Amino acid sequence: MATRGFRSARSRRASEDDVELSVSASDDLDEAESPSVPWLLAAIGGAVLSAAAGWLVVSLLMVLGWTATPDIDFSTVLSASTRLWLLSYFADATVAGLHIGIAPLGLTALHVVVGSGVAGYAATMARRAAPEELSQTERRRLALKVVAAYVATHTLAVMVGSFLVVNTQESARALVGALAVSLVAALVGASRATEWQPLLQAPPWARALPRAMLAALLVMVVTGAAVVTASLVRERERVQALHDVLQTGTLGGILLLVLQLLWLPNLVVWAASWSTGAGFALGAGSVVSPGYNEYGLLPSIPLLGAVPPAGVGPWTGFIWMAGPGLAGAVAALVVLRARPRARFDETALVGGLAGVLAGLVLVVIAASSSGDLGQVRLVNLGPRLTALAVMAPTLMGLTGLLTGAVAGLVRRPLPATEDEPVEHTISLG
């Protein structure tokens, strides 16, 4: 009896401890889930800070360069910094008498990454302040509120900066660019944080398309980076010679390297265009492609020393066209993974469609990477868009179509489960 009483008392104490721990854990959970900052304040304040952060990055680089030539007025340095910052929003800039119309996609990508994080944080705060269970309609409404607040504030901050240094036409371009960049960033961050799935009600084949397109574009980015790396290794002596001619010194060399890194994504996109066979241009009447190269005088930018010699290119250059083919095949395989019971005709159709759409998106990105470097000879630098609009969707679409068809015929569909029957038709609506 004594033993039984001891066990009973111990059991009661254990139950009381469990209750206390449970209550404590619940309190901690509630505290963790409560919003620490109002979502509107997070969206507006974060939008201003993200715009200011991009300006500070460029200003820091310009100030470092100014220390080497302190005879230039500091206000001129700040004006040039603002112009280069606006260049990342696709507004032309004139610095030291040189017209620059090529957006540094490295800085533009930084805007997207930072903006996505800020919008995601604001959406998380909004989600914590909302009821625990939300429908997809409520999640969409919540995400779009955050997107609207972030985009409006970020665009306004960019416009205020543009009115201080550029004319009305360039301010209009900065407005459109800031609107597009902030919209992409906010949509990515807010939809992820609120778990809003825009394609949830779409047919199964459509839900797999964005992942397939993204996979194909990543393959193209890797292909372009590989082309740039191989070119830099092959022409390293000429690149080094161009760098030595500039005689920048230690600080100037570091600054030149960082500035080139901001435009390095542009070269990767150009190289991706080159791998499709469309090539790119380095001025009026010039062409750089796997089969033939022709160009005149080039600026003394070390990275441009990696371009191949003028004339007929080696046949080995066409091997790089396997990159776009692989991109289309990867798109089809992603569709197969998402649709394990789809018929071969569906996988072929969606694989080809994903390849075509990824090719068209590549054309849009290529257009954003193009521009002028001056006003006479070095105009329209970047991918040859007409040729790319033909080659990229064709190569990636055909290989996606063939891969989807072959893989759909070879593999055996998984058996249906009770809650997901086998589909025998392709739903297009």
- Non-local (6+) Cβ contacts of 20 within 8 A are none
pLDDT value of residue 215? 93
pLDDT average, residue stretch 373-382? 76
Please report, rounded to a whole number, the percentage of residues in the chain having pLDDT higher than 70: 84
CB 320 within 8 A of CB 272: no
DSSP 8-class letter at 291: S
Tokens encoding 30? 């509630």
**Mean pLDDT of all residues belonging to the chain:** 82
Residue indicated by tokens 């409520």: 138
**In what side-by-side order are the strands of the sheet with 280-281?**
311-312, 292-294, 287-288, 280-281, 382-383
CB 335 within 8 A of CB 207: no
Is it the case that residue 32 has pLDDT exceeding 50? no
Domain boundaries in the chain? 39-194, 204-410
d(CA 362, CA 323): 13
CB 386 within 8 A of CB 113: no
pLDDT value of residue 1? 45
Provide the CA 350 distance to its chain's centre, in angstroms.
Answer: 23
Is it the case that residue 68 has pLDDT exceeding 70? no
pLDDT value of residue 184? 95
Q: What is the pLDDT of residues 290-329, one digit of tens each?
A: 988 888 777 778 888 888 888 888 888 899 999 999 999 9
- For the chain, the farthest-separated pair of C-alpha atoms sits apart, in whole angstroms, at 103
Q: How many residues does the chain have?
A: 429
Torsion sign (Cα): 127, 131, 133, 135: negative
Q: How far is CA 130 from CA 25, 126, 127, 191, 209, in A?
A: 21, 6, 5, 15, 31
Is it the case that residue 394 has pLDDT exceeding 50? yes
CB 144 within 8 A of CB 75: no
pLDDT average, residue stretch 106-112? 93
Angle, CA 298 vertex, CA 294 and CA 303 arms, to 5°:
100
d(CA 154, CA 314): 48
Is it the case that residue 358 has pLDDT exceeding 90? yes
Q: How is 22-81 classified by DSSP, letter by letter?
A: HHHHHHHHHHHHS-SS-HHHHHHHHHHHHHHHHHHHHHHHHHHHHHH-TTS-HHHHHHHH
pLDDT average, residue stretch 231-257? 80
422: helix, strand or coil = coil
Is it the case that residue 249 has pLDDT exceeding 50? yes
DSSP 8-class letter at 288: E
Is it the case that residue 5 has pLDDT exceeding 70? no
How would residue 428 be classed by pLDDT, with cut points 50, 70 and 90? very low
Tell me which residue of 351, 346, 340, 337 sits closest to 425, measured CA to CA: 346
Q: How far is CA 98 from CA 84, 94, 102, 207, 263, in A?
A: 12, 5, 12, 46, 17
pLDDT value of residue 33? 63
Residue 26: CB atoms within 10 Å: 10
Pairing of strands 292-294, 98-100: unpaired
pLDDT average, residue stretch 117-131? 90
d(CA 27, CA 17): 15
Is it the case that residue 45 has pLDDT exceeding 90? yes
pLDDT value of residue 34? 67
Ramachandran region, residue 374 (left: φ > 0; alpha: ψ -120 to 50; beta: rest): left
Q: What is the pLDDT of residues 160-188, one digit of tens each?
A: 888 887 777 778 888 999 999 999 999 99
